[in-house]
């Protein structure tokens, strides 16, 4: 009897010892739909994915399979320590094979993204499936995170991840210190580890259908075409400047860094030059040669005698007069704001003018009238640029952000982030003639050069609205990127 008891006790101890050493392999699978037509862009939960786990000799055990069904999660339990081969497969996607070392008692987390058989790249010779450079004309930037007001990114404090140059506490009046800026983008519930960074191309003839997408290795959030439409300029959050050629299948033909500490807030382009405003501890305006794609000069606002006396403020928006004789910059913080007028050749500050609190978007149809969206004042200032005086304010919707001008120069459009509307201002009568209801959080806008349609990035709903400007009504809405936030929009001829 004692022998039996001792044997049972020995078996129990052995079982406990084995259980203490077994481990687990678990994780999530995502499917990258970047170049598949008709399903939008970005990623989706990886359902219908087969995971085969095989022990590699001398690791004991037998092969196991797991098929994801309603969720992208998988798990293998009670695994003995050793080496394993994991094969992850799904039809029409590239199979991934991983070799995993599992230590005693370890819970190994494996998160995998399966790419399609054909993958688009910003530097590739082909640009997505069904891409037609003639009909697919709307370019949309996806930094893949909810932007701060006006589409300007939250900045980092010293305690945040070293994803860009940290801005010291208290240095900037936009209250950077209490905001977080994460290096992982496309955050959504369980899948916070994944990033979606891309430029999507939408057909302007199919009311919002995404036809192609380019994956980029940076969070591009500002894009603008050269007037010739032969170049697309892009800026990411780290102040990297990209020159993209639509005529070469949207290949990056040049890229370089503008700053190691600033965050681009806006850019404006004329036939000869590109102008970029940078926020940060040393805010500035940079001028680049549009022919050679090379920086020429810059103005540092804190060191300029005319702007340094205004306080520690930030440049938010920029516009060029049609005659290329003046540059207009919105400059301010959450409590005050100014319109700066500069000489585009010398970058000399010609004049400053007080406007509403936290000015962001700025635009001019003719160089005489300048419109400034005062985000914290819920208004748009109308400025007589010749005499440098504010001649009136429009009471728009809640939190006006960006401003664009119709190609006919007859109307100005203001995106109201807080009230989910686009205010339409008649330039000649100086009246708001319509308010277009949109999806949540309208910010950036792009108008087709023919003046018939406008495309609006709605960052809260993560959608792009298509507006028929002849009716001032939304005619289509698309969700072009799962777990991502659309930003700047540029439309080519």
For residues 238 and 143, what is the distance between their CA atoms, to the nearest angstrom? 12
Specify the residue for token string 């939008």. 40
Residue 138 has pLDDT above 50, yes or no: yes
Name which of 60-74, 102-116, 165-179, 195-209 the model is least confident about.
Answer: 165-179
Residue 13 has pLDDT above 90, yes or no: no
For residues 40 and 462, what is the distance between their CA atoms, to the nearest angstrom? 12
CA angle 383, 267, 198 (to 5 degrees): 135
Say how many C-beta atoms besides its own lie within 10 A of residue 67's C-beta. 11
pLDDT tens digits, 310-334: 999 999 999 999 999 999 999 999 8
Residue 305 has pLDDT above 60, yes or no: yes
pLDDT tens digits, 370-394: 999 999 999 999 999 999 999 999 9
Specify the residue for token string 């598949």. 36
- Output the pLDDT for position 10: 52
Residue 128 has pLDDT above 70, yes or no: no
Q: What is the average pLDDT across 189-209?
A: 59
428 versus 167: the higher-pLDDT residue is 428
Residue 475 has pLDDT above 60, yes or no: yes
- Output the pLDDT for position 383: 95
Beta strands in 388-470 (DSSP E): 389-395, 400-405, 411-416, 421-426, 431-437, 442-447, 453-458, 463-468
Pair of tokens at residue 2: 């004692």
In this structure, which topology does domain 24-114 adopt according to CATH? Immunoglobulin-like (2.60.40)
For residues 50 and 112, what is the distance between their CA atoms, to the nearest angstrom? 12
3 state DSSP class of 303: helix
- Output the pLDDT for position 382: 95
- Output the pLDDT for position 1: 52
Name which of 71-85, 242-256, 362-376 the model is least confident about.
Answer: 242-256
48 versus 183: the higher-pLDDT residue is 48
For residues 92 and 129, what is the distance between their CA atoms, to the nearest angstrom? 14
- Output the pLDDT for position 123: 39
- Output the pLDDT for position 3: 54
Counting other chains too, the contacts that 165-172 makes at CB distance below 8 Å and 24 or more residues apart are: 165/260, 165/261, 165/262, 165/280, 167/261, 167/280, 167/281, 168/281, 171/281, 171/312, 172/279, 172/280, 172/281, 172/312, 172/314
Q: What percent of the chain has pLDDT over 90?
A: 50
CA angle 305, 238, 110 (to 5 degrees): 155
**C-beta separation of 473 from 466 below 8 A:** no
Chain Cα centroid distance, residue 308: 31
Q: What share of the chain is helix, strand, coil (3-state, %, to 5)?
A: 5, 45, 45
Q: What is the average pLDDT across 396-410?
A: 94
**C-beta separation of 183 from 110 below 8 A:** no
Q: Which of 374, 376, 409, 410 is nearest to 394 (CA)?
A: 374
For residues 200 and 36, what is the distance between their CA atoms, to the nearest angstrom? 12
CATH number for domain 136-491, candidates 2.102.10.10, 3.40.462.40, 2.130.10.10, 3.30.1950.10: 2.130.10.10
Pair of tokens at residue 278: 């940078």
For residues 259 and 256, what is the distance between their CA atoms, to the nearest angstrom? 9
Pair of tokens at residue 174: 């936009």
In the chain, domain spans: 24-114, 136-491
For residues 100 and 103, what is the distance between their CA atoms, to the nearest angstrom? 10
Residue 163 has pLDDT above 80, yes or no: no
* Mean pLDDT, rounded, of the chain: 79
3 state DSSP class of 334: coil
Q: Is 47 exposed, middle or buried (0-12, 13-18, 19+ CB in 10 A)?
A: middle
């Amino acid at each position: 009897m004692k022998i039996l008891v001792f044997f049972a006790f020995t078996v129990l101890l052995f079982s406990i010892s084995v259980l203490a050493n077994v481990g687990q392999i678990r994780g999530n699978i995502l499917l990258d739909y970047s170049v598949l037509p008709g399903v939008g862009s970005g990623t989706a939960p990886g359902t219908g994915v087969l995971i085969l786990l095989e022990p590699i000799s001398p690791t004991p055990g037998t092969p196991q399979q797991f098929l994801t069904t309603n969720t992208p999660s998988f798990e293998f339990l009670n695994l003995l320590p050793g080496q394993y081969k994991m094969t992850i497969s799904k039809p029409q996607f590239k199979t991934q094979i991983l070799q995993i070392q599992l230590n005693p008692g370890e819970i190994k987390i494996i998160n995998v993204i399966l790419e399609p058989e054909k993958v688009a790249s910003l530097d590739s010779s082909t640009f997505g499936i069904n891409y037609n450079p003639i009909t697919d004309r709307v370019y949309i930037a996806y930094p893949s995170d909810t932007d701060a007001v006006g589409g300007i990114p939250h900045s980092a404090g010293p305690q945040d991840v070293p994803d860009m140059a940290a801005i010291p506490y208290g240095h900037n009046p936009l209250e950077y210190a209490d905001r977080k800026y994460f290096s992982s983008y496309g955050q959504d519930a369980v899948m916070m580890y994944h990033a979606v960074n891309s430029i999507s191309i939408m057909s302007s003839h199919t009311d919002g259908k995404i036809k192609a997408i380019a994956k980029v290795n940076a969070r591009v959030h500002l894009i603008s075409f050269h007037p010739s439409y032969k170049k697309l300029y892009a800026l990411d959050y780290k102040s990297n400047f990209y020159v993209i050629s639509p005529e070469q299948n949207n290949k990056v033909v040049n890229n370089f860094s503008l700053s190691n500490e600033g965050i681009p807030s806006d850019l404006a382009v004329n036939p000869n030059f590109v102008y970029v405003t940078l926020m940060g501890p040393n805010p500035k305006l940079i001028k680049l040669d549009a022919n050679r794609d090379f920086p020429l000069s810059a103005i540092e606002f804190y060191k300029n005698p005319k702007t340094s006396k205004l306080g520690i403020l930030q440049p938010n928006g920029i516009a060029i007069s049609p005659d290329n004789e003046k540059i207009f910059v919105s400059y301010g913080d959450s409590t005050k704001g100014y319109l700066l007028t500069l000489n585009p050749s010398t970058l000399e500050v010609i004049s400053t003018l007080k406007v509403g609190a936290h000015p962001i978007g700025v635009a001019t149809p003719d160089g005489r009238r300048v419109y400034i969206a005062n985000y914290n004042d819920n208004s748009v200032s109308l400025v007589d640029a010749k005499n440098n005086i504010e001649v009136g304010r429009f009471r728009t919707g809640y939190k006006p952000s960006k401003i664009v001008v119709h190609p006919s120069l007859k109307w100005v459009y203001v995106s109201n982030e807080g009230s989910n509307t686009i205010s339409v201002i008649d330039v000649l009568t100086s009246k708001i003639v319509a308010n277009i209801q949109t999806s949540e959080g309208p910010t950036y806008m792009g108008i087709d050069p023919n003046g018939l349609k406008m495309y609006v990035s709605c960052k809260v709903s993560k959608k792009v609205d298509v507006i028929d400007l002849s009716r001032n009504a939304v005619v289509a809405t698309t969700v072009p990127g799962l777990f991502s936030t659309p930003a700047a929009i540029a439309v080519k001829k």
